[in-house]
A and B are shown apart, each in its own frame.
Chain A
């Protein structure tokens, strides 16, 4: 049984590939997008439980995508993990400013990312009834 649906957004096909593999092994369903615009479409059509989002992408960057998701009442509860090569503090701060739930810098460990996703989804599940009450 699927543990949930993860949207992986990155313009680097190999990153999408390895996350598909790692998350698939862990029992998640994975949907993918290769740029920001595609990501927003997939958020609507696929209604993922969590989003792994690259920052530097063509068309629409990760900050913009995250901002859009977090300002839409229909999608703002979806946890977003930013995954980026931009490792400076200001980059991270900007990520949290646009509403990201976590920020992981590349190069990254797929195992740790999966653990983080498990954790976030666990929290999200327990928090959901509380926030809706």
Chain B
């Protein structure tokens, strides 16, 4: 019955939908509070405007004689209240400096704004300066510390500061600065090196910029009126700056909300269109079969053999079509659940491409389409699963043929690149509209309306192709010129650990760790930790420096150009002290604030030492989780564990008397962990089992060492299952004996795979025991009760929960509440009751869990 699989695939789609809706809720809340603060800012702004209006009237009457000045002031006020974009901000600042020039009587006015990222005041608006002077000022931002040094009581007038040239404050002439030529000045007159400035301070007391003036029209030192005018105008600049910042944040959340809403709606649409499309697509061949079978049955024994042959041919063809359809729906659900068995070995992709061209030939011939293969001479070898890659290419090829007119061309290209293979499938077909390009890889996506009838399909082929490519750590993208065809480009990493990792070859390492192992290490860290940026730094003992050996997510020049002194910065601190460091928000952390910001554009980061024989040999840094949540102490436990295993892997590679076989074993272990992490990523239930396990362990009072082991095992415990192959289509109990025997062996397989990088016996215990049951009816050893290590009992509960909420093709997934009820039902027999309760308690608060600062970093 295909309907069961269908329901299952639908359940997957609805899970996605629920997740999107949940996120939308959180965003709404944030937006509401943002709106509140925006509204209060607008109100504050109105008050200020009102007050300033009164002041302006005062000035109009008492101080300002010129109508032009009044008009200018009015214009500033008008714009400052209606600020709604950056463009408007620049306009306001421009008006402010010109108003200062006119109203306060200075020919030269400069406004600088603090850039919180760089920590410098940058020149944003000017009056009375020529292009050359502006360029000079723009090129010389003023560091915060320098500015702070000017704020001395002896220079203060009101809220402004006047630094007369007699103060000799600036010392020797500042060559980078700008000093205007004011011509001859008498004593008591404004001097070329006099400086008058007013800091732009928010109501909360934060400095966000300053205004400085030069060359007064009356050639006098500043008087009280001039300073007051200056300060009022400074207030407007502050309001304008704050409004624009608020606006930008509001705008950004608005955009996010819109995106989330759109995504939610899209998923909803996808889901319902999936129902109608799949039911239609399944019914069409079924209709043909049924309607051709009936007359055949009625004519059994009739002499009309021609008719019978013809009808049977149709039935045969349609039942095959039905079979293909069901297979592709199953494929996608298995890929989604990450339960495909991946057999990664060196393959020549040119050979695969030629094979695919052959498979596509009948379909192409039917439409009179020519298939070209353009492959680079020689072999193009990548480590990949041959049948999966063939599958992905076949889907791309079929898609190309489907959308190409009779007599067109489909070409398959193979090119070798530095560490990847590039495969292209190009057609001369109808092309894809620009706005659709981003969506074509979505599950169940189909070009709507008339096109989907002309080009029927379930819309799973491209989605399957993408899952396969991403699982290999590769990339896929499409470009197209509507009316002129489309091109799908796939890049596959040459070796398992090569996806996007840059290594730095120039530095000779005192530790002879192979490039392959370092790449694998970085890849493993990035995949398991789900981090955008991962880097591996090694210690150069001679120079007492750290340098980046390999990294993912960093630009090449950063990788080759970064050297950090021991003790400096975050990585240097970690290397020097030999303990991990967790920073949840770099910008808010006073210890490291701005020194790293420009380098990594980082918010949350985690840094752990790699030790060999008690000596720190390197540091692993990860920045910014892909999920955008900050790293937590549970992540720290996991990363420390991974770092220990990396060190173990390298030890094999270093040892001179060791055979290369053990180094290869270590590499294989790392590769298997990478594959396992990618497969886990494809599951619909987000969130890492490792951090959940650590959170539960923490609640149950496990020691820090036990937590590390637990987090690690939770993230790798099913590595061995991939080798067994998931018996996904069978209900438990319906497995044949041989398959069941394999399943029960998977803990042992896992252990075998990770053994080359393992050194802790209790980790091995956890791996072996995570399928044991409290009542002794588990596998492989039938341990009972307290014989099962507590960590293994924790993983058993999490594993069961995941399996229940994820669903299986033979049954629908359960809701959280249903799964919890089931866990409780089995507490005492299968699971440890106190662990089930700990799970219930941690899972309830999991989502609101706030990150905790690392205590040892203080």
Spell out A's residues near B (CB within 8 Å): 11-12, 14-15, 17-18, 21-22, 25, 56-59, 85-87, 106-111
Summarize A's interface: helix, strand, loop or mixed.
loop
For the complex, what is the distance from the CA of A58 to the CA of B298, rounded to whole Å? 33
Pull 24 A–B residue pairs with CB atoms less than 8 Å apart, ordered by A.
A12-B284, A12-B287, A12-B288, A14-B291, A15-B291, A17-B314, A18-B288, A21-B295, A22-B295, A57-B453, A58-B453, A58-B454, A85-B283, A85-B284, A85-B287, A106-B283, A106-B284, A106-B286, A107-B283, A107-B286, A108-B290, A108-B291, A110-B291, A111-B298
- Given A15-B287, A106-B286, A111-B298; 11 other pairs, CB 8 A cutoff: A11-B453, A12-B284, A12-B288, A17-B314, A18-B292, A21-B295, A22-B295, A57-B453, A107-B290, A109-B290, A109-B291
Which chain A residues lie closer than 8 Å to B291 at the CB level?
14-15, 18, 107-110
Min CB distance, B305 to chain A, in Å?
15
Are A110 and B294 in contact (CB-based, < 8 A)? yes
For the complex, what is the distance from the CA of A17 to the CA of B307, rounded to whole Å? 12
For the complex, what is the distance from the CA of A15 to the CA of B291, rounded to whole Å? 8
Q: Known interface pairs A85-B279, A85-B284. Does A111 touch B294 (Cβ–Cβ under 8 Å)?
A: yes
Which 4 pairs from chain A and chain B are nearest by CB? Answer: A107-B290, A106-B287, A107-B287, A85-B283
User: Nearest A residue to B288 by beta-carbon distance?
Assistant: A14
Which chain B residues lie closer than 8 Å to A18 at the CB level?
288, 291-292, 295
Min CB distance, A114 to chain B, in Å?
10
Which chain A residues lie closer than 8 Å to B289 at the CB level?
107
Which chain B residues lie closer than 8 Å to A25 at the CB level?
295
0/1 per residue, B271-286, Cβ < 8 Å to A? 0000010011001101
Are B295 and A110 in contact (CB-based, < 8 A)? yes
Min CB distance, A34 to chain B, in Å?
11
Which chain B residues lie closer than 8 Å to A111 at the CB level?
294, 298
Which chain B residues lie closer than 8 Å to A86 at the CB level?
276, 280
Q: Which of A57, A106, A109 contacts B294 (CB 8 A)?
A: A109
Which chain A residues lie closer than 8 Å to B292 at the CB level?
14, 18
Question: Which of under 10, 10 to 19, 20 to 34, or 35 or more describes the interface residues of B?
Answer: 20 to 34
For the complex, what is the distance from the CA of A18 to the CA of B295, rounded to whole Å? 9
Which chain A residues lie closer than 8 Å to B453 at the CB level?
11, 56-58
Min CB distance, B442 to chain A, in Å?
22
Are B290 and A14 in contact (CB-based, < 8 A)? no
For the complex, what is the distance from the CA of A12 to the CA of B284, rounded to whole Å? 9
Which chain B residues lie closer than 8 Å to A56 at the CB level?
280, 453
Q: Does B659 contact A (CB under 8 A)?
A: no
For the complex, what is the distance from the CA of A15 to the CA of B286, rounded to whole Å? 11
Which chain B residues lie closer than 8 Å to A57 at the CB level?
453
Spell out B's residues near A (CB within 8 Å): 276, 279-280, 283-284, 286-292, 294-295, 298, 307, 314, 318, 450, 453-454
User: Nearest A residue to B453 by beta-carbon distance?
Assistant: A58
Min CB distance, B287 to chain A, in Å?
4
Min CB distance, A82 to chain B, in Å?
14
Are B288 and A59 in contact (CB-based, < 8 A)? no
Min CB distance, B272 to chain A, in Å?
11
For the complex, what is the distance from the CA of A25 to the CA of B314, rounded to whole Å? 19
For the complex, what is the distance from the CA of A58 to the CA of B447, rounded to whole Å? 13
User: Looking at B279, B287, B292, B318, which has the most chain A CB atoms within 10 Å of its CB?
Assistant: B287
Which chain A residues lie closer than 8 Å to B454 at the CB level?
58
Are A15 and B288 in contact (CB-based, < 8 A)? yes
Which chain A residues lie closer than 8 Å to B450 at the CB level?
58-59
User: Nearest A residue to B280 by beta-carbon distance?
Assistant: A85
Min CB distance, A118 to chain B, in Å?
16
For the complex, what is the distance from the CA of A86 to the CA of B314, rounded to whole Å? 23
Which chain B residues lie closer than 8 Å to A11 at the CB level?
453
Are B276 and A14 in contact (CB-based, < 8 A)? no
User: Nearest B residue to A111 by beta-carbon distance?
Assistant: B294
User: Looking at A17, A25, A107, which has the most chain B CB atoms within 10 Å of its CB?
Assistant: A107
Which chain B residues lie closer than 8 Å to A59 at the CB level?
450
Q: Which of A21, A22, A58, A108 contacts B287 (CB 8 A)?
A: A108
Min CB distance, A90 to chain B, in Å?
11
Which chain B residues lie closer than 8 Å to A108 at the CB level?
287, 290-291
Which chain B residues lie closer than 8 Å to A107 at the CB level?
283, 286-287, 289-291
Min CB distance, B455 to chain A, in Å?
10
User: Nearest B residue to A11 by beta-carbon distance?
Assistant: B453
For the complex, what is the distance from the CA of A17 to the CA of B450, rounded to whole Å? 23
Min CB distance, B780 to chain A, in Å?
48
User: Nearest B residue to A60 by beta-carbon distance?
Assistant: B450
Which chain A residues lie closer than 8 Å to B283 at the CB level?
85, 106-107
For the complex, what is the distance from the CA of A18 to the CA of B294, rounded to whole Å? 10
For the complex, what is the distance from the CA of A90 to the CA of B477, rounded to whole Å? 39
Min CB distance, B319 to chain A, in Å?
13
For the complex, what is the distance from the CA of A86 to the CA of B453, rounded to whole Å? 14
User: Nearest A residue to B298 by beta-carbon distance?
Assistant: A111
Min CB distance, B449 to chain A, in Å?
9
For the complex, what is the distance from the CA of A78 to the CA of B787, rounded to whole Å? 81
Which chain A residues lie closer than 8 Å to B314 at the CB level?
14, 17
Which chain A residues lie closer than 8 Å to B307 at the CB level?
21
Min CB distance, B405 to chain A, in Å?
16
Which chain A residues lie closer than 8 Å to B298 at the CB level?
111
User: Nearest B residue to A14 by beta-carbon distance?
Assistant: B288
Min CB distance, A45 to chain B, in Å?
24
User: Nearest A residue to B318 by beta-carbon distance?
Assistant: A14
Min CB distance, A35 to chain B, in Å?
9
Which chain A residues lie closer than 8 Å to B288 at the CB level?
12, 14-15, 18
Which chain A residues lie closer than 8 Å to B276 at the CB level?
86
For the complex, what is the distance from the CA of A108 to the CA of B289, rounded to whole Å? 10
Min CB distance, B3 to chain A, in Å?
13
For the complex, what is the distance from the CA of A87 to the CA of B283, rounded to whole Å? 10
Which chain B residues lie closer than 8 Å to A110 at the CB level?
291, 294-295
Min CB distance, B61 to chain A, in Å?
73
